[in-house]
Structure formats: structure tokens, C-alpha cells
């Protein structure tokens, strides 16, 4: 029942940035910012929030505005802040990566070469779409410089460079496979 994974820290961190938020808003914010390297679902957010409250890392501050909608709004406690900071200064653990596309390519000998080329063309399209999304966001972020957008830009740049590298790789892999085909 007690969640003790990384989700905790993702939520703690978002709460640290937003100062004050409901589970619902937390999710919305992550969707428009961290979604390409970190996602949470409602089914993890609400239980984690409950758990963090039990641990006294966050507290409920019932919606302060007049228009009272039944929202549970939370803030970090000082204990929560220090737990978050402690986690932040630890070096990041590299997480297990499972890349299904790579797995399928690795098994490429077992299917006609055209299938593999198709997979790559398909991926190329998706990478291109991603890239333009990222570049759009980057453009928007660049217009309102702040210390927070600084870090958003840095993480976003990582996404952009990764995708660009993937695109180049797609092209060279397609080229290689086409030359083998002949």
C-alpha cells in the first residue's frame, strides 16, 4: 500500500515547483511539461498523495478561493522539502531501458528486410512529429525566460538532441538495409 518508488519524488518535486496543487492539476502540469521523460497516472497520483500526507511530507490546504470545488490541495511541509532536497542532491540512478524497436531490429534476420525498413520509416515519421512538437514548446519557453524555464529548456534540449540523433540513425540504418537488399 505504501508507495516508495520514484513516483513519490516526481510528485514531491512538482509540488515543490507549483508550491500548491491538487492531484488533478499535478497531472495536468506534468502532461504539459515532463510528459516526455516522466508521466504519472491518476491511479498513482492519488494514492501517493495520500501516502505522502501520512508521512507528513505534504499537508492539505483546503481550497482557499471562494469558488469551492471539492479539491484536495496540498503543499510541501518543511520535512517534505528536506526529503525532496535530499533526493535531488543524490546522483540519479540510471533506470532500466527497454526499447522494443531495438529488440525487433535485433531480430531483423528473421523477417523480410522490407519489414524492417518499414518499421524504420514509420519511426522516422514519429520522430519527426516529436521533434516539431519539442521545437514548438522550446519556442514558447524561450519567450518567457525565468529560472524555471531555464531548467525546462535544458531538459527539453535533451529530448531534441535525442530525437535528432534517432532521426539521423534511422536514415543511416535505412540506407544500410537498402544497400544490403540489392
Give the one entry of DNA, a copy of itself, none that residue 95 binds, where binding means its C-beta sits below a cut-off of 5 to 8 angstroms depending on kind. Answer: a copy of itself
What cell numbers appear for 54 in the block? 501520512
Count, residues near DNA per rule CB under 7 A: 28
Please name which of 77, 47, 73, 76 lies closest in space to residue 60, comparing C-alpha atoms: 73
- Pick what 46 binds: a copy of itself, DNA, none; C-beta below 5 to 8 Å, kind-dependent: DNA
Rule CB under 7 A: is residue 3 a binding residue for DNA?
A: yes
User: How far apart are CB 9 and DNA at their closest, in Å?
Assistant: 9
Rounded CA separation 55/63 (Å):
21
By rule CB under 8 A, what count of residues binds a copy of itself?
A: 64
Picked from DNA, a copy of itself, none, the partner binding residue 66 (CB below 5 to 8 A depending on kind) is none
Least spacing, CB of residue 46 vs DNA, in Å: 5
- Site residues for DNA, 40-59, by CB under 7 A, read 40-44, 46-47, 49-50
- Please give the Cα distance from 174 to 176 (Å, whole number): 5
Give me the 8-37 binding string for a copy of itself, x by CB under 8 A, dash otherwise: -xx--x--xx---------------xx-xx
DSSP states of the chain as a string? ----SHHHHHHHHHHHHHSSEEHHHHHHHHHTTTTTT----HHHHHHHHHHHHHTTSEEE----SSS--S--EEEE-HHHHHHHHHHHHSPPPPPP---HHHHHHHTGGGS-HHHHHHHHHHHHHHHHHHHHHHHHHHHHHHHS--HHHHHHHHHHHHHHHHHHHHHHHHHHHHHHHHHHH-
Pattern 86-125, DNA, x by CB under 7 A: ----------x-x---------------------------
Q: Interface residues with a copy of itself (CB under 8 A)?
A: 6, 9-10, 13, 16-17, 33-34, 36-39, 84-85, 87-89, 91-111, 115, 119, 122-123, 126, 147-148, 150-152, 154-155, 157-158, 161-162, 164-166, 168-169, 172-173, 176-177, 180
Amino acid at each position: 500500500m505504501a508507495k516508495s518508488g520514484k513516483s513519490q519524488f516526481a510528485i514531491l518535486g512538482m509540488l515543490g515547483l507549483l508550491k500548491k496543487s491538487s492531484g488533478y492539476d499535478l497531472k495536468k502540469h506534468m502532461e504539459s511539461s515532463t510528459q516526455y521523460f516522466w508521466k504519472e497516472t491518476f491511479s498513482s497520483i492519488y494514492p501517493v498523495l495520500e501516502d505522502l500526507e501520512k508521512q507528513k511530507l505534504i499537508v492539505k490546504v483546503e481550497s482557499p478561493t471562494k469558488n469551492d470545488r471539492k479539491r484536495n490541495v496540498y503543499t510541501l511541509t518543511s520535512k517534505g522539502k528536506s526529503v525532496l532536497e535530499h533526493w535531488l542532491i543524490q546522483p540519479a540512478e540510471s533506470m532500466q531501458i527497454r526499447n522494443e524497436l531495438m529488440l525487433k531490429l535485433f531480430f531483423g534476420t528473421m523477417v523480410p528486410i522490407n519489414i524492417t525498413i518499414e518499421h524504420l520509416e514509420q519511426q522516422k515519421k514519429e520522430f519527426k512529429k516529436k521533434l516539431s512538437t519539442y521545437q514548438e514548446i522550446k519556442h514558447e519557453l524561450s519567450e518567457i525566460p525565468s529560472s524555471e524555464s531555464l531548467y525546462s529548456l535544458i531538459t527539453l534540449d535533451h529530448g531534441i538532441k535525442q530525437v535528432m540523433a534517432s532521426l539521423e540513425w534511422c536514415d543511416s540504418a535505412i540506407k544500410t538495409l537498402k544497400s544490403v537488399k540489392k
